[in-house]
């Protein structure tokens, strides 16, 4: 069965390696996972006063895209031992209103890479804590923690590391099964 996936990168810069990682996932995904990438750069700073009046248009669109999707893939760098503020800000908007958030029950896959050896360990752990409150259904295994990510792509942004390619394929395959699993559970 084919699923529609919303792909979100946690970094806004053009040459972001985590964007490359997300684009690679999009290419590697077979027909079963149709990944559409959503750019969070137009989502304003969260302010609950605005929420009470009316959600900004970009936020409305973001929430609709989440609602229409069968799952999310978030590709995130690590900033200051945590997830980027811009990513958390987008999630803060999407989590509102608390009793009717499109994040509730949504299957979630997390990937990420860093220039050093940490591979975004702290960032991903923290994103799972956010998923606990928002009730996103984050897949646990396999994890994708890319070390020295700058060595994994050529200058055109193409993946040149075969081990990572194989691991991503396995990851995407598991995510498809995970979505099927979560969807099935809703009928129990």
Sites of contact with a second copy (CB under 8 A) = 11-15, 41, 43, 45-49, 79-92, 95, 117-119, 121-122, 125-126, 128-130, 132-135, 140-141, 145, 147, 177, 180-181, 184-185, 188
Of the pair 6, 130, the CB lying nearest a second copy is at 130
Smallest distance, Å, CB 156 to a second copy?
A: 19
Of the pair 154, 184, the CB lying nearest a second copy is at 184
Distance of CA 96 to the CA centre of its chain: 18
Smallest distance, Å, CB 180 to a second copy?
A: 6
DSSP 112-156: EE-SSSSTTHHHHHHHHHHHHHHT-EE--SS-EEESSGGGSB-TT
Smallest distance, Å, CB 68 to a second copy?
A: 22
Q: Where are the alpha helices (DSSP H) in 34-186?
A: 48-53, 57-68, 85-94, 121-134, 162-185
- In angstroms, rounded to a whole number, what is the distance separating the alpha carbons of residues 28 and 25? 5
Of the pair 23, 114, the CB lying nearest a second copy is at 114
What residues have CB less than 8 Å from 160, skipping those under 6 apart? Answer: 152, 153, 154
Of the pair 112, 119, the CB lying nearest a second copy is at 119
Of the pair 24, 96, the CB lying nearest a second copy is at 96
- The two three-digit tokens of residue 44, written as one number: 């304003």
Smallest distance, Å, CB 90 to a second copy?
A: 7
Of the pair 15, 27, the CB lying nearest a second copy is at 15
- In angstroms, rounded to a whole number, what is the distance separating the alpha carbons of residues 130 and 153? 30
- Across 68-91, b (16+ Cβ under 10 Å) vs e yields ebbbbbbbbbbbeeebbebbbebb
Smallest distance, Å, CB 41 to a second copy?
A: 7
Smallest distance, Å, CB 6 to a second copy?
A: 18
- In angstroms, rounded to a whole number, what is the distance separating the alpha carbons of residues 104 and 63? 12
């Amino acid at each position: 069965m084919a699923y529609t996936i919303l792909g979100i990168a946690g970094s806004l810069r053009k040459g972001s390696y985590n964007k490359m990682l997300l684009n690679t996932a999009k290419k590697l995904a077979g027909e079963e996972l149709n990944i559409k990438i959503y750019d969070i750069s137009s989502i304003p700073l969260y302010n609950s006063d605005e929420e009470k009046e009316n959600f900004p248009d970009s936020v409305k669109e973001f929430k609709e895209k989440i609602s229409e999707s069968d799952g999310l893939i978030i590709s995130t760098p690590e900033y200051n031992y945590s997830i980027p503020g811009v990513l958390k800000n987008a999630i803060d908007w999407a989590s509102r209103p608390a009793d009717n958030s499109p994040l509730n029950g949504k299957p979630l896959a997390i990937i990420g890479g860093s220039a050093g050896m940490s591979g975004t360990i702290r960032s991903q752990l923290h994103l799972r804590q956010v998923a606990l409150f928002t009730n996103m259904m984050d897949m646990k295994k396999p994890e994708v923690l890319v070390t020295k990510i700058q060595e994994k792509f050529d200058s055109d942004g193409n993946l040149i590391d075969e081990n990572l390619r194989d691991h991503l394929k396995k990851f995407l395959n598991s995510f498809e099964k995970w979505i099927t699993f979560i969807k099935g559970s809703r009928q129990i």
